[in-house]
Amino acid sequence: MGTAVVLDFSSLSGKLTADILENAFRNIITPEDTSILILKTEAFSRKQERKGESSYLGSYPGFHNMESGMEELYSPPYLEESGAAWIVKKGFKTIGIDNFSVDNFYSETLPAHHILLSSNVNIVECLELGSVEAGTYFFLCLPLKIEGCDGAPARALLISYA
């Protein structure tokens, strides 16, 4: 729990590099004690128009049919290695995202996970940020304590200072 900054990348797709994160971070006034970074991508709420039909396909076009080749058309924002390293360098202790993963969904090596976790940065995924605007908040995340697991369901709250 602590002070969090939400950066909005809902208009982007693909890699979130160190430069992209730094540019967005520079535009938000944050207190010095900000230890949590939350990335809004709107991955869950994007619509994919296909063959004249509107359907929700989760975060990724082609998610239900990986053979369709649609994954080439759209890749939700994800942390590229330099972006993950930037988070560590800035001293964030927790990273949150409204996506299934901080890494590219198709990655088999999960480089952002390795960079973040090896630097003791907590990762919170699948947040619901649809009505959240970029800015500074108080973040509280209460995961279930499950012995022997590398993840757990959690209740996450984002509280506005205003």
pLDDT tens string 62-117: 344 444 454 445 678 999 999 999 999 999 999 999 999 999 988 899 999 999 99
Closest alpha carbon to 16 in 36, 43, 35, 34: 43
Q: What is the residue extent of each domain of the chain?
A: 2-160
What's the number of CA atoms in the CB half-sphere (13 Å) around residue 107?
20
- Bridge pairing between strands 154-160 and 135-143: antiparallel
Q: Which residue type is seen at 1?
A: M
What's the rounded mean pLDDT across residues 24-46?
87
CATH code of 2-160, in short, is 3.50.30.50
Integer Cα distance of 65 and 56 in angstroms:
13
pTM here? Answer: 0.81
